[in-house]
């Protein structure tokens, strides 16, 4: 479970303080698929980065399965990221000098013991890249690179997967394929999936939709048994 | 409608803003240029200042207006003629300065030390400049009575102090002061030991200047301002026909020539660093243009043409080159100030350093020109940028195959043409720096070939590494695999880094290996029968005693070999006087100041080549060494007239002999029957082989019995040679170090230009759970392997080069495992340190900081 308690994030720009997040509080139960949406500059990627421990909040608390990650030392934070979170970026972020297989293997080598090679091969097979394992990123198309990135995010079986516009750089068929893979993982393995997107259609497939505007949550829609949307609060969390 | 070109000011503004966008990357580019310029300005600036000192201080450096040196005592007749010269020009003063080597000790310690002795008349000497003494006093005060002044080294080696006594020949002197500096130090040559100065009046009492002594006698003259120096010089030359006469205006031709040669060689070593730096700048500009593809495409899409783009980047390159040049000039002045310490004892003159304007301009110009020339080929690539890149990043790739390969090169024909121009310009620069078209041409050719081979070798090494990595990569630990794979990161200039670092390592190691092999050859291959102890200045009276001394000396492994030398003068060769032979470039000084010896049997070690040795000790014949006979055009039967003392000898060449170089006899090329010379004053030279453990006790005993006989221990000579060779190679290694520095700057610039890529890689790794240590390990593998490979390339080439050069010198080559290991480990350590300096702050970045910037 992810718990966010009154998180604020600002950056100092000369003498001016730019507030990016203005007091965010929310709870994401294990296994939920949450879509974070909002206009450019609303703070959604910053929020995702904080949830993933890629940055620390200026104030407030973030708890991941009972662990406070907002004040962890860097080494401990690295361990949390490595074991608990798989991250998928809009621009893939593969290491250009490593092959597809080596890229997928990397989190395993960083965080787990034993040989993850079979797991890496199997995952690449599952994302349809069994024949492209020894290729370097530069030899792969955008869609293929994003599928390698997905396999990399899944390789240590993290309980949480976070994705920042994972389909943003892809055409519709590749985007659909990537989204299907993410959803299958969420459904089959019960991983928590937190996804930032601009795409209304992608957001509509989520269990819960959080809308950000100017650094505040302006809408938080929870799923209902009947399939109707239930607005948990309008600005209660903002 | 005529097309408007991008104005120079607008191009400069775009170029400047582009530079400001990546100051870290361009800082290393500037440093790459600065390294070579600094080395060149340092060396040439020092040379310029040194020459300036020689010109400005010429009179002080000679201690007079005119000097005449002979290697014998002047005859009464000559003294009379010189007095006549002086009388003709009122106000003229003159004095004789004697320089020789001798043994000295500090009683009661009987251990003698070989010293360079100088005897002057302190009332006259020096006419210009002054001797600096500690405690501060005049030379006249210091050398009054039986006093001497000595160099610091003398006090250190004999644990003596000012106020102690020193024994020279048969006389004791009180050490009155330490000789810190003497104005005409460079006229004395390198010398064999610490310097000791006494008065000429006291020299006579030492007994060191026996009749026939070959000590250097230097006449110093001070002329009145209006005297005709050229006329006086002619008169002195007439009075002392075998003298080496110089006036202060010509300075010291041997030193000037040596300075020119050294400056040329050292400048070329600096040019290597400069070219490596320029290659680094070219590589950096190439990488920079690749990163600026979008900007170039946008500019083209809005109407800029290739010339406009070229203008922007040409100005940028010139700006960087100029900035690097200025920085290099500033650092070069620092190098110039440091050089006297690097040169150490090699310099006989205290150089007065000033701002060397000519060298500053030359360094700046050469740096700018080299940078511009090497950057032209990559800059011309802007012509190939297609505006369609604005719309899509991937454009169709060129077809592969041999035809396409040729087509690609054909498309780059302008760059190829410029490459030829670059080599020609390099030759021109080398010509200007070395003052020799031949040297310049060879330098450009060999350096270009060496660079191409090094670049190819580096590229092949990287390919082989990649091939091997692909075979075993999954078996390797993750950080090692990742670090090795990073060597092939796009935009990395690994091959250029390998070649440039490798060149620096090669130069430094090759010099070290050559030095080691040469000294090893001298020290270890000397035959055990070759003399290791030499005797100088033995008088005829002492010969029998000395023979007897050595017969009873323990530890003699080869008997004493004594050679008499009598001074003589050739009057004619084959019936022609020396004046008539002037055009034939004969060694006139050798003929006018000939060293003759006598032996009634062919001396040990010599072999008869032609004719036969005399049986009658009064025959009017002589024998000539083979090499000298060839040089003088003498053969068996040639007629020779010699003047010895007051006599004239008409002789025929009866024999030509071949000396073996292992006996003292090798130093003399003319042997006569004993009856013709034995009554002339002779100086004897000796050689013996004494067990090295017994040499010290033998020296002590000989000094006690024969204090005027000088003993030269071969081990001391070797030490002297070693220290001079060490000093020279240190200078070369110091300057070759700038090539290493240039290589490191290229590495730093390559790392800085891929900084964003590296930052992104670091944060992606962090996102995936990597700790700082893991990232440190990965990058350290990359840097250290790069250093190790560069070291390997350098070590391989250094050994190859040394092997070839030693083979030409007929000296055996030995692999030096210790030096090789140090070179390899040292290069790896330097590369790793530089890599991390250029990657500062990467480790501390937070992932989101970088990812948001995309």
| Average pLDDT for A141-170 | 91
Q: What angle do CA B442, B444, B447 make, to 5 degrees?
A: 95
Q: Which chain A residues have a beta carbon less than 8 Å from that of B771?
A: 74-75, 78-79
φ, ψ dihedrals at B814, nearest 5°: -125, 135
- Beta carbons within 8 Å of B188's beta carbon, 6+ residues apart: B99, B116, B118, B195, B348
Give residue-wise pLDDT tens across range B753-793: 777 778 888 888 888 888 888 888 988 998 898 889 889 88
| Average pLDDT for B633-643 | 90
Q: Which chain A residues have a beta carbon less than 8 Å from that of B485?
A: 97-98, 102
Closest residue in B to A95 (Cα) is B761
CA dihedral B174, B175, B176, B180 (to 10 degrees): 160
Could you tell me which of B144, B218, B135 has the C-alpha nearest to residue B179?
B135
CA distances, B36 to each of A128, B32, B33, B409, B740 (Å): 54, 7, 6, 31, 11
Min mean pLDDT across A90-99, B398-407, B815-824, B833-842 is at: B398-407
Taking the C-alpha atoms of residue A84 and residue A160, their distance in angstroms, rounded to an integer, is: 6
Q: What angle do CA B5, B8, B14 make, to 5 degrees?
A: 100
CA distances, A169 to each of A146, B288, B391 (Å): 9, 26, 15
Would you tell me how many other CB atoms lie within 10 Å of the CB of residue B401? 9
Amino acid B583: pLDDT: 62
Give the mutation candidate from A56, A79, A95 for the B interface (greatest B CB count, under 10 A): A95
Asked if residues B708 and B210 have their Cβ atoms less than 8 Å apart, the reply is yes
* pLDDT(A140) > 60: yes
Query: Per CB distance under 8 Å, which residues of A are interface residues toward B?
Result: 45-46, 49-50, 52, 54-56, 74-75, 78-79, 81-83, 87, 89, 91, 93-98, 101-102, 105-107, 109-111, 117, 138, 152
* pLDDT(A148) > 90: yes
- Beta carbons within 8 Å of B499's beta carbon, 6+ residues apart: B279, B451, B454, B455, B457, B458, B793
* Rg for chain A, CA atoms, rounded: 18
Decide if A93 and B760 are in contact by the 8 Å CB cutoff: yes
Give residue-wise pLDDT tens across range B540-591: 888 899 888 888 888 787 778 888 988 888 888 888 887 777 666 666 777 7
Asked if residues B383 and B415 have their Cβ atoms less than 8 Å apart, the reply is no
In this complex, the residue of A54, A56, A102 whose CB is nearest that of residue B767 is A54
Would you tell me how many other CB atoms lie within 10 Å of the CB of residue B403? 9
Taking the C-alpha atoms of residue B388 and residue B297, their distance in angstroms, rounded to an integer, is: 7
- Give CB contacts under 8 A, 24+ apart, made by B367-370: B367/B33, B367/B36, B367/B37, B367/B40, B367/B274, B367/B321, B367/B324, B367/B325, B367/B328, B368/B318, B368/B321, B368/B322, B368/B325, B369/B425, B369/B429, B370/B36, B370/B274, B370/B275, B370/B277, B370/B278, B370/B426, B370/B429
3-state secondary structure of A144: helix
Give residue-wise pLDDT tens across range B68-117: 988 888 888 888 988 888 888 888 899 999 998 888 888 888 788 888 89
| Average pLDDT for A207-233 | 74
Residues 472-511 of B with CB under 8 A from A: 473-474, 478, 481-482, 485-486, 488-490
Question: Could you tell me the pLDDT band of residue B398, with boundaries at 50, 70 and 90?
Answer: low
Amino acid B559: pLDDT: 78
Amino acid B399: pLDDT: 59
Asked if residues B741 and B276 have their Cβ atoms less than 8 Å apart, the reply is no
* pLDDT(A211) > 90: yes
Which secondary structure element, helix H or strand E, spans residue A50, and what is its range? helix A44-51
In this complex, the residue of A75, A97, A101 whose CB is nearest that of residue B485 is A97
Amino acid A237: pLDDT: 43
The angle that helices B357-379 and B253-291 make with each other, rounded to 10 degrees, is 30
Query: DSSP character for B151?
Result: -
- Beta carbons within 8 Å of B392's beta carbon, 6+ residues apart: none
* pLDDT(B293) > 90: no
Min mean pLDDT across A83-92, A137-146, B527-536, B631-640 is at: B527-536
Amino acid B388: pLDDT: 61
Q: Which chain B residues have a beta carbon less than 8 Å from that of A81?
A: 766-769
Could you tell me which of B127, B136, B113, B132 has the C-alpha nearest to residue B179?
B132
Query: DSSP character for B656?
Result: E
Would you tell me how many other CB atoms lie within 10 Å of the CB of residue B353? 18
Largest CA distance in chain A: 54
Establish how many alpha carbons lie within 13 A of residue B594's alpha carbon, considering only the half-sphere containing its beta carbon: 26
Taking the C-alpha atoms of residue A32 and residue A101, their distance in angstroms, rounded to an integer, is: 29
Task: Give yes or no for a cis peptide into A18 (omega within 30° of 0).
Answer: no
Question: Could you tell me the pLDDT band of residue B392, with boundaries at 50, 70 and 90?
Answer: very low
Amino acid B332: pLDDT: 92
Give residue-wise pLDDT tens across range B496-544: 778 788 888 888 888 888 888 887 777 665 556 677 888 888 888 888 9
Taking the C-alpha atoms of residue B618 and residue B638, their distance in angstroms, rounded to an integer, is: 18
Amino acid A29: pLDDT: 94
* pLDDT(A22) > 90: yes
| Higher pLDDT among residues A105 and B720, named by residue | A105
Question: Could you tell me the pLDDT band of residue A226, with boundaries at 50, 70 and 90?
Answer: very low
- Beta carbons within 8 Å of B446's beta carbon, 6+ residues apart: none
How far from chain centre, in Å, is Cα B460?
34
Residues paired with residue B611 on neighbouring β-strands, in sequence order = B655
- Beta carbons within 8 Å of B702's beta carbon, 6+ residues apart: B549, B709, B711
3-state secondary structure of B605: coil
CA distances, B291 to each of A91, A202, B18, B343, B784 (Å): 18, 34, 11, 45, 26
Task: Give yes or no for a cis peptide into B135 (omega within 30° of 0).
Answer: yes
Closest residue in B to A48 (Cα) is B848
Residues 420-479 of B with CB under 8 A from A: 473-474, 478
Give the mutation candidate from A53, A109, A135 for the B interface (greatest B CB count, under 10 A): A109
Taking the C-alpha atoms of residue B839 and residue B833, their distance in angstroms, rounded to an integer, is: 10
| Average pLDDT for B48-62 | 82
- Beta carbons within 8 Å of A159's beta carbon, 6+ residues apart: A30, A65, A84, A191, A192
Decide if B767 and A81 are in contact by the 8 Å CB cutoff: yes
Amino acid B121: pLDDT: 93
How far from chain centre, in Å, is Cα B798?
18
* pLDDT(A10) > 50: yes
- Beta carbons within 8 Å of B705's beta carbon, 6+ residues apart: B545, B549
Question: Could you tell me the pLDDT band of residue B478, with boundaries at 50, 70 and 90?
Answer: confident
Amino acid A238: pLDDT: 35
* pLDDT(A229) > 80: no
Which secondary structure element, helix H or strand E, spans residue B137, and what is its range? none
CA dihedral B645, B648, B650, B654 (to 10 degrees): 0
Would you tell me how many other CB atoms lie within 10 Å of the CB of residue B378? 21
Kindly write down the DSSP assignment for every residue of A68-111, as one continuous string: E-TT--HHHHHHHHHHHEEEE-TT----TTS-HHHHHHHHHHHH
Mean pLDDT score across all residues of chain B: 83
Asked if residues B683 and B212 have their Cβ atoms less than 8 Å apart, the reply is yes
Could you tell me which of A231, A223, A217 has the C-alpha nearest to residue A25?
A217
Taking the C-alpha atoms of residue B590 and residue B383, their distance in angstroms, rounded to an integer, is: 68
Give residue-wise pLDDT tens across range B145-183: 889 999 988 898 888 899 999 998 888 999 999 998 888
Amino acid B854: pLDDT: 52
Name the percent of chain B lying above pLDDT 90. 14
CA distances, A46 to each of A14, A88, B114, B130 (Å): 20, 14, 82, 79
Strands B66-70 and A16-28: unpaired
Min Cα separation B486/chain A (Å): 6
Establish how many alpha carbons lie within 13 A of residue B63's alpha carbon, considering only the half-sphere containing its beta carbon: 25
Could you tell me which of A5, A61, A63 has the C-alpha nearest to residue A30?
A63
Give residue-wise pLDDT tens across range B310-365: 888 999 999 999 999 999 999 999 988 888 887 766 666 677 788 888 899 989 99
Decide if A79 and B473 are in contact by the 8 Å CB cutoff: no
In this complex, the residue of A54, A106, A111 whose CB is nearest that of residue B847 is A54
In this complex, the residue of A55, A74, A138 whose CB is nearest that of residue B848 is A55
pTM for this predicted structure: 0.69
Closest residue in A to B474 (Cα) is A102
| Higher pLDDT among residues B531 and A225, named by residue | B531
Decide if A110 and B774 are in contact by the 8 Å CB cutoff: yes
* pLDDT(A207) > 60: yes
- Of these ranges, A4-8, B369-373, B667-671, the one predicted with the greatest mean pLDDT is A4-8
Taking the C-alpha atoms of residue B625 and residue B631, their distance in angstroms, rounded to an integer, is: 10
Question: Could you tell me the pLDDT band of residue B2, with boundaries at 50, 70 and 90?
Answer: very low
């Amino acid at each position: 479970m992810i718990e966010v308690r009154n998180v604020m994030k600002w950056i100092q720009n000369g003498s001016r303080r730019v507030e990016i997040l203005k007091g965010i509080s929310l709870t994401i139960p294990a296994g939920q698929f949450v879509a974070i949406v909002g206009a450019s500059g609303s703070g959604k990627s910053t929020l995702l980065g904080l949830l993933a421990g890629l940055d620390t909040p200026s104030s407030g608390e973030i708890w991941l399965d009972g662990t406070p990650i907002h004040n962890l030392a860097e080494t401990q934070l690295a361990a949390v990221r490595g074991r608990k979170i798989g991250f998928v970026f809009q621009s893939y972020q593969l290491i250009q000098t490593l092959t597809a297989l080596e890229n997928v293997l990397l989190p395993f080598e960083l965080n787990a013991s034993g040989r993850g090679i079979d797991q890496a091969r199997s995952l690449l097979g599952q994302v349809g890249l069994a024949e492209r394992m020894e290729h370097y990123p530069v030899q792969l198309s955008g869609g293929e690179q994003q599928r390698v990135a997905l396999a990399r995010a899944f390789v240590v079986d993290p309980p949480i997967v976070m994705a920042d516009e994972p389909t943003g750089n892809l055409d519709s068929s590749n985007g659909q394929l990537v989204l299907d893979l993410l959803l299958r993982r969420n459904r089959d393995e019960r991983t928590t999936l937190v996804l930032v997107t601009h795409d209304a259609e992608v957001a509509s497939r989520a269990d819960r939709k959080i809308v950000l505007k100017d650094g505040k949550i302006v809408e938080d829609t929870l799923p209902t048994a009947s399939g109707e949307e239930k607005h948990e609060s309008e600005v209660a969390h903002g | 409608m005529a097309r408007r070109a991008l104005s120079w000011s607008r191009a400069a503004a775009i170029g400047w803003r582009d530079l400001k966008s990546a100051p870290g990357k361009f800082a290393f580019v500037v440093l790459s240029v600065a390294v070579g310029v600094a080395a060149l300005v340092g060396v040439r600036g020092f040379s310029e200042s040194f020459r300036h000192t020689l010109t400005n201080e010429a009179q002080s450096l000679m201690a007079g207006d005119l000097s005449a040196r002979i290697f014998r005592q002047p005859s009464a007749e000559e003294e009379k003629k010189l007095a006549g010269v002086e009388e003709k020009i009122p106000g003229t003063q003159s004095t004789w300065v004697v320089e020789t080597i001798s043994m000295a000790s500090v009683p009661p310690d009987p251990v003698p030390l070989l010293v360079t002795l100088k005897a002057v008349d302190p009332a006259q000497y020096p006419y210009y400049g002054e001797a600096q003494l500690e405690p501060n006093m005049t030379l006249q005060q210091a050398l009054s009575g039986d006093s001497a002044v000595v160099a610091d080294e003398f006090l250190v080696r004999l644990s003596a102090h000012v106020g102690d006594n020193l024994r020279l020949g048969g006389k004791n002197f009180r050490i009155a002061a330490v000789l810190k500096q003497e104005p005409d130090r460079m006229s004395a040559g390198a010398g064999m030991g610490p310097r000791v100065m006494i008065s000429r009046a006291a020299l006579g009492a030492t007994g060191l200047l026996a009749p026939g002594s070959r000590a250097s006698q230097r006449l110093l003259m001070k002329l009145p301002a209006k005297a005709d120096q050229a006329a006086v010089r002619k008169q002195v030359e007439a009075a002392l026909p075998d003298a080496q006469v110089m006036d202060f205006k010509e300075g010291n031709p041997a030193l000037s020539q040596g300075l020119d040669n050294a400056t040329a060689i050292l400048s070329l070593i600096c040019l290597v660093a400069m070219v490596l730096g320029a290659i680094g700048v070219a590589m950096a500009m190439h990488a920079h243009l690749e990163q600026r593809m979008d900007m170039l495409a946008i500019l083209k899409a809005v109407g800029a043409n290739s010339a406009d783009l070229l203008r922007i980047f040409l100005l940028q390159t010139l700006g960087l080159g100029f900035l690097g040049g200025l920085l290099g000039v500033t650092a070069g002045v620092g190098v110039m100030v440091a050089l006297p310490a690097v040169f150490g004892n090699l310099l006989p003159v205290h150089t007065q350093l000033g701002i060397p304007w000519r060298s500053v301009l030359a360094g700046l110009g050469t740096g700018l020109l080299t940078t511009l020339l090497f950057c032209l080929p990559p800059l011309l690539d802007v012509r190939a940028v297609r505006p369609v890149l604005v719309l899509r990043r991937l454009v169709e790739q060129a077809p592969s195959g041999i035809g396409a390969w040729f087509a690609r090169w054909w498309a780059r024909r302008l760059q190829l043409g410029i490459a030829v121009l670059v080599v020609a310009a390099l030759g021109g620069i080398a010509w200007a720096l070395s003052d020799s078209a031949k040297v310049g041409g060879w330098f450009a050719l060999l350096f270009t070939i060496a660079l191409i081979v090094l670049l190819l070798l580096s590229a092949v090494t990287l390919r082989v590494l990649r091939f091997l990595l692909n075979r075993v990569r999954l078996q390797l630990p993750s950080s090692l695999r990742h670090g090795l794979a990073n060597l092939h990161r796009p935009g990395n200039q690994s091959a250029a880094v390998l070649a440039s670092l490798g060149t620096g390592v090669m130069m430094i190691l090759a010099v070290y290996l050559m030095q080691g092999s040469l000294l090893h050859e001298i020290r270890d291959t000397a035959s055990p029968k070759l003399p290791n102890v030499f005797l100088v200045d033995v008088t005829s009276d002492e010969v029998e005693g000395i023979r007897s001394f050595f017969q009873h000396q323990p530890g003699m492994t080869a008997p004493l070999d004594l050679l008499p030398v009598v001074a003589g003068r050739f009057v004619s060769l084959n019936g022609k006087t020396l004046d008539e032979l002037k055009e034939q470039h004969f060694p006139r000084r050798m003929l006018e100041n000939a060293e003759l010896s006598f032996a009634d049997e062919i001396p040990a070690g010599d072999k008869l080549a032609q004719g036969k040795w005399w049986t009658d000790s009064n025959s009017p014949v002589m024998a000539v060494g083979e090499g000298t006979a060839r040089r003088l055009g003498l053969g068996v039967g040639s007629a020779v007239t010699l003047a010895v003392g007051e006599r004239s000898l008409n002789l025929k060449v009866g024999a030509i002999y071949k000396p073996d170089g292992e006996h003292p006899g090798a130093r003399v090329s003319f042997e006569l029957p004993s009856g013709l010379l034995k009554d002339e004053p002779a100086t004897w030279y000796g050689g013996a082989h004494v067990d090295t453990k017994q040499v010290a006790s033998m020296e002590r005993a000989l000094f006690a019995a024969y204090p005027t006989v000088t003993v030269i221990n071969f081990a001391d000579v070797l030490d002297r040679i070693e220290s001079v060779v060490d000093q020279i190679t240190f200078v070369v290694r110091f300057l070759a170090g700038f090539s290493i520095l240039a290589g490191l700057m290229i590495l730093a610039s390559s790392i800085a230009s891929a900084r964003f890529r590296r930052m992104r890689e670091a944060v992606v790794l962090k996102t995936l759970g990597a700790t700082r240590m893991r990232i440190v390990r990965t990058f350290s593998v990359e840097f250290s392997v790069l250093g190790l490979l560069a070291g390997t390339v350098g070590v391989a080439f250094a050994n190859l080069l040394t092997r070839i050069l030693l083979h030409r010198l007929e000296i055996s080559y030995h692999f030096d495992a210790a030096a090789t290991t140090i070179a390899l480990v040292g290069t790896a350590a330097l590369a790793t340190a530089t890599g991390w300096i250029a990657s500062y702050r990467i480790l501390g970045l937070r992932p989101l900081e970088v990812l948001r910037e995309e």
